[in-house]
Amino acid sequence: MYIEKINSPQDVKALNTEEMKQLAQEMRTVLIKKLSIHGGHFGPNLGMAEAIIALHYVFNSPVDKFVFDVSHQSYCHKILTGRKDAFIFEDKYDDVSGYANPDESEHDFFNIGHTSTSVSLASGLAKARDLNGGKENVIAVIGDGSLSGGEALEGLDYAGEFDGNFIIVVNDNDMSIAENHGGLYKNLKLLRDTNGKAECNLFKAMGLDYVFVKDGNDIEQLISAFESVKDIDHPVVVHICTQKGKGYAPAEKDKENWHWCMPFDIETGRSKFEFDGESYDDITVNYLLDKMKNDKSVAVITSGTPTVAGFTKEKRDIAGKQFIDVGIAEEHAVALASGMAKNGAKPVYGVYSSFIQRTYDQISQDLCINSNPVTIIVFAATVFGMNDVTHLGIYDIAMLSNIPNLVYLAPTCKEEYLAMVEWSMSQRKYPVAIRVPGNGVVSNPNYKPIDFDNLNKYSVTKEGGKVAILGLGTFYQLGESVADEIKKQYGIDATVVNPVYITGTDKDLLAELAKTHDVVITLEDGILNGGFGEKIARFYGKSDVKVFNYGLKKEFLDRYDYNEVLAENHLTKEQICEDIKDFI
């Protein structure tokens, strides 16, 4: 076993080619085992084993600097840079994050988790090196669908004019999470088909030098290519063709489903995680497919994460031309949707909270200034969602809800969610975003749809006095339980309100509440700063009503236990009851 003896990249340099090949197999074995138990990014890492060995063999990390795009393909880099134990020993699996992390190692330079950033970040390392007279190599590694993102393309364009050492390794595995989308991938295919010899070459057209590696899983070819560009005095792209999921048959065959995995059985490849409940993905895809059947102007857009709204391969095939995967290109997705709405279509853009951050300006300028009727469905917008620092779903209220003209809705149950989607797709006046609840699918058979056109009218769901609780979206049920606790502890019948609209203040209702309530509590599943509750506090600023805003602190959380986070932010019914004790 070589892997056990690798404590730093220096140990890689001591191996011969055959030993490196063996090391690649060993890395695959530990990766497959760890991922079968722990889950994580599967295909991207299996495909990059040889390339990462070759990079560490040729270059001298951390003096030479690697920046991995998304960094979901950097597990092998972690193995080779002193972190192998976190892949070999089950009790140490959680010692490392799933992404690059400077706190773990001097071989990592950035926390990275969103796509398409490596070229730009690495170009900054290179520019600073040149200003300060350094000599090291700077290497960006990009691929796996990331090239289509605007930031990556801006970065390549900048790199094409850069006048010093800069090496961009394009890991071309012919895939994004699902199949690749975008015209540039036709050029990558042409380059693959011509052994890199086609004159028409995207990278050269961007002003970059170019080297082609036919088999990006062949250690010798890789070492030879990397040695040829080491210490180069200008920017160059090394285009390597790898096989996503290499070394595990089910993943080689079904690349999309093995991009990321839950714990699975190695023998059969079957997932150990059986989710048999109802999910908002299923609810959404079923609703939208039905809509599409009856209205050819309905179309669903994704930016490289097709299953976000439940559109598995099978469902995408049913949707046909009414399903549009633009590739990783969130900015384009929003502008496309705005244009479609303007010309009479009914576009629905499904996107994760963390990734909608990539399109603030398009939502403001392309969409909201133009008031086009687009429906955006925001998934994983919750403290209960992804918990890596780069994939949090707790900032979207602050980001979206302060953009004029947008109607941002917070459903509290399945029935309300569907009523909102229905309304949004039927109206032609507003850009609408809908925040999918983060606390699982709650059904409320007694839910009565309201006329959402009557903007910013909150729903009083339980009438009471003294204390009013505004429970937004995911936290509506918490609001109900707080009301029960208040009844239990203080004998007070609190009023419970479903605000419905994140983007508006129901001034009439708030003024009315002030007459019979001393305390107003707001609850929201996101950071408090820039959020919903602060608007309520502003409204009551001049009144005698006491306002208690509950939500999360403005901070970057990382791999947290949500119960701990909720407790730290006083988001339990007991804490809230205690907080208001002296005010009732």
Residue 362 CA, chain-centre distance (Å), reads 18
Which one of residues 343, 445, 561, 581 is an interface residue with a second copy (CB under 8 A)? Answer: 343
Indicate the residue among 211 and 403 with the shorter CB distance to a second copy. Answer: 403
Helix H segments across 369-519? 396-400, 414-426, 476-490, 507-516
CB of 124 to a second copy, least distance (A): 2
Measured CA to CA, the distance from residue 250 to residue 124 in angstroms comes to 39
Indicate the residue among 354 and 477 with the shorter CB distance to a second copy. Answer: 354
Q: Parallel, antiparallel, or unpaired: how do β-strands 517-527 and 432-435 relate?
A: unpaired
Indicate the residue among 448 and 542 with the shorter CB distance to a second copy. Answer: 542
CB of 542 to a second copy, least distance (A): 5
**Per CB under 8 A, which of residues 284..303 are in contact with a second copy?**
296-297, 299
Q: Which residues of 86-124 are buried (b: 16+ CB within 10 A; e: fewer)?
A: bbbeeeebeebbbbbbeebbebbbbbbbbbbbbbbbbbe
Pattern of binders to a second copy over 396-435, x per CB under 8 A?
--xx-xxxxx------------------------------
Which one of residues 341, 409, 472, 497 is an interface residue with a second copy (CB under 8 A)? Answer: 341
* Contact status, residue 366 vs residue 334, Cβ threshold 8 Å: yes
Query: Which range touches a second copy (CB under 8 A), out of 11-19, 318-326, 422-430, 485-493?
Result: 318-326
Indicate the residue among 42 and 550 with the shorter CB distance to a second copy. Answer: 550
- Contact between 117 and a second copy per CB under 8 A: yes
Which one of residues 183, 277, 445, 491 is an interface residue with a second copy (CB under 8 A)? Answer: 183
- Contact between 121 and a second copy per CB under 8 A: yes
Q: Which residues of 29-53 are buried (b: 16+ CB within 10 A; e: fewer)?
A: bbbbebbbebbbbbbbbbbbbbbbb
Give the DSSP per-residue string, 182-248.
STHHHHHHHHHHTTT--S--HHHHTT-EEEEES-TT-HHHHHHHHHHHTT-SSEEEEEEE--TTTT-
**Element spanning 142, H or E:** strand 138-143
Place of tokens 């295919």: 189
Query: Which range touches a second copy (CB under 8 A), out of 21-29, 202-210, 258-266, 416-424?
Result: 202-210
Measured CA to CA, the distance from residue 388 to residue 392 in angstroms comes to 6
Indicate the residue among 21 and 72 with the shorter CB distance to a second copy. Answer: 72
CA geometry: angle at 21 spanning 20 and 23, to 5°? 60
Indicate the residue among 27 and 298 with the shorter CB distance to a second copy. Answer: 298
φ, ψ of residue 124 to 5 degrees: the values are: -65, -40
**Per CB under 8 A, which of residues 460..479 are in contact with a second copy?**
none
Which one of residues 21, 129, 517, 573 is an interface residue with a second copy (CB under 8 A)? Answer: 129
Which one of residues 242, 338, 375, 498 is an interface residue with a second copy (CB under 8 A)? Answer: 338
CB of 217 to a second copy, least distance (A): 25
- Contact between 120 and a second copy per CB under 8 A: yes
- Contact between 573 and a second copy per CB under 8 A: no
Indicate the residue among 325 and 480 with the shorter CB distance to a second copy. Answer: 325
- Contact between 197 and a second copy per CB under 8 A: no
Measured CA to CA, the distance from residue 93 to residue 252 in angstroms comes to 24
Measured CA to CA, the distance from residue 328 to residue 176 in angstroms comes to 8
Indicate the residue among 157 and 574 with the shorter CB distance to a second copy. Answer: 157
Indicate the residue among 275 and 583 with the shorter CB distance to a second copy. Answer: 583
Residue 366 DSSP symbol: I
* Contact status, residue 356 vs residue 325, Cβ threshold 8 Å: no
**Per CB under 8 A, which of residues 146..175 are in contact with a second copy?**
148-151, 153-161
CB of 483 to a second copy, least distance (A): 19
The verdict on whether omega for the bond into residue 347 sits within 30 degrees of 0, i.e. cis, is: no
Which one of residues 3, 211, 336, 494 is an interface residue with a second copy (CB under 8 A)? Answer: 336
Indicate the residue among 271 and 427 with the shorter CB distance to a second copy. Answer: 427
Measured CA to CA, the distance from residue 319 to residue 333 in angstroms comes to 18
- Identify the sign of the CA torsion 277, 280, 283, 285: negative
Nearest residue to 494 via CA among 461, 473, 469, 513: 469
Indicate the residue among 216 and 526 with the shorter CB distance to a second copy. Answer: 526
**Per CB under 8 A, which of residues 344..383 are in contact with a second copy?**
344-345, 347, 357-362, 364-366, 368-370
**Per CB under 8 A, which of residues 495..524 are in contact with a second copy?**
none
- Contact between 142 and a second copy per CB under 8 A: no
Nearest residue to 273 via CA among 255, 260, 256: 260
Which one of residues 331, 480, 485, 525 is an interface residue with a second copy (CB under 8 A)? Answer: 331
Indicate the residue among 262 and 386 with the shorter CB distance to a second copy. Answer: 386
Site for a second copy (CB under 8 A): how many residues?
A: 119
